[in-house]
Structure 1
Amino acid sequence: MQLIQYMLANHVFESILAFITLCGIIFNIWLGFRTLTAELTKQNIELNAQRQSLLEQDQANKVALWRTYNPLPSLKEQADLGEGNIPAFYEIHNNSTLPIFDIFVIAVSSKSGSRLDNFFMPYSNSSPEDYFKYISYLKIVAPQHRVQGFVYGHGTGMGETDDFVYIFRDTRGIVWFRGNTGFLEKIGSQSDLYTLMDRVKINIHDPRFFSRPSIMEPI
């Protein structure tokens, strides 16, 4: 009788142990599945954010600007070569199928390495009253068109020359900044643009920005 009771108790113990082991296995499977699901969800969120970012940047990535040393003769004639005025000519291409708006081209030192978080007016020894010399404003650049224009800079010397950053608004209403290091960065809304311009003491409504000549033609 005692042997039977012992065997029965041992069987019950083994059954309980097996049940506990099974529960442990099921819990580990559930925990692993939950961890995997959370990781996949995180990856999906990141991929969706990347897709959204690429979608937002689609038009902006088709806009490019560079310095040109061979400006159109008619534009070169319009540059004031008076004392202290050293024109730096640029060419901007809108290779997208949509227009871009409110383009600001700003001369900066080639040594500045301008990014959105460290952007400041190009020559800190200049008075804000003179900032208009370093800025060109374009109301619109048509799709599949290029524009040549100019700003005034400080010329070449001491291992640096005039370079450009530019700001523009796409058809989604998003304002973009591309520094002279080539990085495209999102400013955001028109209100965010005003905040940036206030920070660097640029009067965005200065009428002198709007009077500088430029020439637009198909690419």
Structure 2
Amino acid sequence: MLRTPVKTLNTKICLIEPMTSKFVFYGMILSLFAILNTTQIFAIESEEIKAAEKIKNNPVMMQILKKIEQSKKILAEIQEGKKIQSQQNKAIQEARNIANARLNEEIDRMNRDNEPFTSQSAFAKFVSKKPIGIQGIYLSMFNYQQDKIKSAQSAKDRILAGGGKAKDAWDAYYKNSATSRVQMISLNKDFNVKYANADATTQQVFDSKGKIPRTD
């Protein structure tokens, strides 16, 4: 009865021994990999240390590294400066936009307040007292003159914008805004025909000076 347990124990021992051998083998493999990896790391670190020592012992390389570090610092300062400048420009532009908006609002308000006193309003009030049949003549003459003034203003602005002299600009303004007597008479003829039902043939009787030529 004592032999049976002994055989069983021997069998278990025999089964455990191969498994133990496998674990030992795998452990040795892992240890080998760890040793190789550690050796590689030490080799890389050793090379880096040697390279660093060579650079430190080389004045030219150290000067280059110093210049690189200075360049990095300068670049960082420039980028920071640009960032600050961009923020300042943005704030300035926002302030300008607000100021322009307020100015435009003030100009609109002033225009509304002064509208009854503008040249257009004053002239319209003057024309309203004239006979209806000839009001169109007055208004057309006024509008013609206003267009001449706008054209003269544009001519003056173009000369100034192009770097021209102020005298030349004002000379152009006066030239473009002026209306000669002959032009006024011609316009008067046309507007009389258009608005006052004047006879075109009759209007042609008047000369360039607005007079009827003598026949005697």
Say yes or no: TM over 0.5. no
Q: Which has the higher contact order (CA 8 A, sep 6+)?
A: 1
TM-score of the two chains, using structure 1 as the length reference: 0.31
Larger relative strand fraction: 1
Larger relative helix fraction: 2
Between structure 1 and structure 2, the one with the greater Rg is 2
TM-score of the two chains, using structure 2 as the length reference: 0.31
